[in-house]
């Protein structure tokens, strides 16, 4: 039993508009367009969008949000020219550029934008310089989400108890977890530091408009992960899974209030 981040679901004002934006901005593989509009990010995990109020209702949250939502999504591509191409595509489809594409102080080539739905995205190149023609459209080598938390070391313990292995550990400055093929990477930073890195105001409150999903292999695994979350001092939202439509699922929140869904098809 090990928790993995299979799907990132964002709460958005209009599903069709958000689906159109992310299709243009990220050039995903063809996905299923329905009430959750899930997109395949070229084998680096899945992104889904869902109507904001419906997502809040599912996890029992007050459907109100203001300011920074406490997390930054990230798309890592091979080289700087691909960062520029992704930023241009996002801006041409309604995103606000927060940080232009450029080489940073420590050599990293990045850009940051705010999507029309309010989510903050950081684009980064794995290489400092272009090594050849860019892929068109750019394909991510990795998709990640970085959560702003009170104390990364404390949050790390919670996730380790759910079976996640640590990849990089810089104490309360930065921690991320080992990523397996086909899923998204999870990272932890102090909220203030995460906002500063992204170039946004750290102030914000309310529902994060975010649900992180693990797709389990069986009902037994769903139950085991929910029980592990309870015992690892997470605040359970729905510690007992139930059948709803075509899935058996339950929810919990981590120590910093981020919502997780554990599900398996029935």
Which CATH number do you get for residue 206? 3.10.180.10
Going by C-alpha positions, the residue among 46, 63, 60, 77 that lies closest to residue 12 is 63
Q: Which residue has the tokens 């890592």?
A: 76
Instruction: Tell me if 2 is assigned to some domain.
Output: no
Please, which residues bridge with residue 142 across strands? 76
The whole-angstrom separation of Cα 190 and Cα 155 is 11
Tell me, yes or no, whether 164 lies in a domain.
yes
What's the CA gap between 232 and 248, in Å, rounded? Answer: 22
Do residues 189 and 149 make contact, with C-beta atoms less than 8 angstroms apart? yes
Write the CA distances from 1 to 96, 162, 206, integer angstroms: 40, 8, 32
pLDDT of residue 3: 95
Residue 242 tokens, joined: 């139930």
Where in the sequence is the domain holding 212, given as residue range(s)? 7-265
Instruction: Answer whether residue 259 is part of any domain.
Output: yes
- Burial tier of 257 (Cβ tally within 10 Å: 0-12, 13-18, 19+): middle
124 within domain boundaries: yes
The whole-angstrom separation of Cα 12 and Cα 90 is 16
Q: Taking the mean position of all CA atoms in its chain, how far away is CA 79?
A: 22
Determine contact, residues 115/71, Cβ cutoff 8 Å.
no
Residue 132 covered by a domain:
yes
Q: What pLDDT was estimated at residue 246?
A: 87
Which segments of the chain have a pLDDT < 70? 30-36, 105-107, 234-239
Burial class of residue 201 (count of CB atoms within 10 Å of its CB; 0-12, 13-18, 19+): exposed
Q: How many domains does the chain have?
A: 1
Asked whether 94 and 144 are in contact (CB, 8 A), the reply is: no
**HEC profile of 141-208:** CEEEEEEEECCHHHHHHHHHHCCCCEEEECCCCCEEECCCCCCEEEEEEEHHHHHHHHCCCCCEEECC
Which tens digits make up the pLDDT trace of 131-182?
A: 888 888 899 999 999 999 999 999 999 999 999 999 999 999 999 999 888 9
Provide the pLDDT for residue 121.
98
Tell me what pLDDT residue 27 has: 86
Is residue 237 one of the residues assigned to a domain?
yes
Q: What is the pLDDT of residue 239?
A: 60
Residue 219 lies in a domain: yes
Structure tokens at 187: 């990272």
Beta-strand pair 142-149/235-244: unpaired
Q: Give the pLDDT confidence score for residue 222 in this predicted structure.
A: 94
The pLDDT, as a whole number, for residue 33 is 47
Integer Cα distance of 28 and 137 in angstroms: 9
Asked whether residue 1 is domain-assigned, the answer is no
Phi/psi at 196 (nearest 5 deg)?
-65, -45
């Amino acid at each position: 039993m090990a928790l993995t981040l299979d799907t990132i679901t964002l709460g958005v004002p209009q599903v069709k508009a958000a689906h159109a934006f992310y299709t243009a901005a990220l050039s995903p593989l063809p996905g299923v367009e329905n009430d959750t509009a899930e997109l395949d990010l070229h084998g680096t995990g899945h992104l889904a969008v869902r109507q904001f109020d419906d997502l809040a209702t599912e996890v029992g949250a007050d459907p109100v949000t203001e300011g920074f939502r406490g997390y930054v999504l990230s798309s890592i591509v091979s080289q700087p020219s691909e960062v520029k191409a992704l930023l241009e595509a996002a801006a041409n489809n309604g995103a606000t550029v927060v940080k232009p594409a450029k080489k940073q102080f420590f050599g990293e080539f990045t850009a940051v934008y705010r999507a029309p739905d309010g989510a903050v995205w950081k684009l980064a190149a794995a290489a400092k310089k272009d090594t050849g023609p860019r892929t068109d459209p750019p394909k991510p080598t990795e998709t990640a989400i970085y959560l702003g938390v009170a104390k990364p070391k404390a949050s790390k313990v919670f996730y380790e108890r759910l079976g996640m292995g640590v990849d990089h550990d810089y104490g309360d400055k930065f921690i991320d977890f080992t990523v397996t093929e086909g899923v998204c990477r999870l990272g932890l930073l102090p909220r203030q530091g995460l906002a500063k890195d992204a170039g946004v105001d750290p102030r914000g409150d309310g529902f994060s408009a975010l649900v992180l999903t693990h797709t389990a292999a069986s009902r037994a695994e769903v139950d085991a992960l929910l029980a592990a979350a309870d015992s690892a001092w997470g605040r359970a939202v729905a510690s007992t899974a139930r059948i709803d439509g075509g899935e058996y699922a339950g929810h919990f929140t981590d120590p910093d209030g981020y919502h997780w869904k554990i599900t398996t098809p029935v």
